[in-house]
């Protein structure tokens, strides 16, 4: 239960779209940082990879209990096999850290101690470390859409009491109509799929999956009416295919099943 002292902190929760960009951005490590020991064997000097260590992203910090921006970041790390400690904190603890360690959550404490903020920056960084997701300009654009209003507002709509309306989120029916337009655009962008990037998924698709995850939980029938059955079937096929990816499947099986604050759709 959020305390009265914590409520002002929740006011800004999950509704920001301001970009701080590279502020406090840490030094990225590429997938090439994987350690590979090689030795030459016989006449053909065959190279044998004898040891590979997972890339280390350090520590991700996010709010406990919210199915929000912490999700795409963890999905990306899971698919890429990136080593990442996850620290989930409550509103009181965030009150002590806000403006001291970072302006908002999530943030990453890199292995060298530097702090990285901005979910889109973190997503791309984790995908680069993992080396499995497609990382390109189209995915960057898709990630900005997925992490911006109106579709990202599915997070406060799902997790917060009164669907976040008293914190500035539009009334739910108005929001749904706007969010459905983004879902229709996703159908177009997905094309023949199975992923937005083609046969292999791109990193922003973890955020699209998260958008869908919350929209389906909020009102799947309502969104199907707004988007159309055919379009929704395509989005569902993508959602299922993404959920079955290596690492993602395990992450989803292990993540919490109770989300949100009292009075939220998540807890209804």
Ligand X SMILES: N[C@@H](CCC(=O)N[C@@H](CS)C(=O)NCC(=O)O)C(=O)O
**What is the binding site for ligand X (CB under 6 A)?**
9, 12-14, 16, 18, 68-69, 98, 104-105, 118-119, 147
Measured from the CB atom, the residue of 12 and 191 that comes closer to ligand X is 12
Closest residue by beta carbon to ligand X: 104
Q: What length is written for the chain?
A: 268
Buried b (16+ CB within 10 A) or exposed e, 42-78: eeeeeeeeeeeeebebbebbbbebbbbbbbbbbbbbb
- Contact status, residue 14 vs residue 156, Cβ threshold 8 Å: yes
Measured from the CB atom, the residue of 13 and 129 that comes closer to ligand X is 13
In order of 78, 92, 166, the CA distances from 71 in angstroms are 10, 21, 24
Closest C-alpha among 86, 84, 105 to residue 94: 105
Residue 110 CB, nearest approach to ligand X (Å):
16
Residue 52 CB, nearest approach to ligand X (Å):
31
Measured from the CB atom, the residue of 144 and 219 that comes closer to ligand X is 144
Query: Running DSSP on this structure, what letter comes out for residue 28?
Result: P
Measured from the CB atom, the residue of 98 and 241 that comes closer to ligand X is 98
Residue 266 CB, nearest approach to ligand X (Å):
14
Residue 68 CB, nearest approach to ligand X (Å):
5
């Amino acid at each position: 239960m959020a305390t009265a002292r914590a409520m002002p902190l929740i006011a800004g929760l999950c509704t920001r779209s301001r970009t701080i960009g590279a502020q406090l951005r840490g030094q990225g490590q590429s997938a090439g940082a994987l350690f590979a020991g090689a030795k030459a064997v016989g006449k053909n000097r065959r190279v044998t990879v004898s040891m590979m260590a997972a890339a280390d992203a350090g520590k991700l910090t996010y709010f406990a209990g919210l199915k929000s921006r912490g999700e795409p970041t963890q999905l990306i790390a899971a698919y890429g096999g990136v080593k990442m400690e996850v620290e989930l904190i409550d509103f009181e603890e965030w009150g002590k850290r806000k403006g001291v360690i970072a302006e908002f959550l999530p943030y990453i404490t890199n292995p060298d101690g530097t702090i990285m903020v901005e979910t889109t920056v973190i997503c791309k960084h984790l995908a680069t470390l993992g080396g499995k997701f497609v990382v390109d300009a189209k995915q960057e654009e898709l990630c900005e859409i997925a992490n911006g209003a109106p579709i990202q507002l599915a997070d406060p709509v799902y997790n917060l009491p009164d669907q976040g309306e008293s914190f500035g989120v539009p009334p739910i029916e108005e929001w749904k109509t706007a969010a459905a337009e983004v879902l229709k655009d996703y159908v177009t962008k997905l094309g023949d799929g199975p992923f937005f990037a083609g046969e292999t998924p791109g990193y922003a698709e973890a955020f699209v999956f998260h958008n869908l995850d919350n929209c389906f939980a909020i009102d799947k029938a309502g969104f199907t009416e707004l988007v159309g059955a055919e379009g929704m079937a395509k989005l569902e096929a993508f959602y299922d295919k993404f959920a079955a990816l290596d690492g993602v499947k395990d992450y989803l099986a292990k993540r919490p099943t109770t989300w949100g604050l009292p009075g939220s759709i998540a807890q209804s």
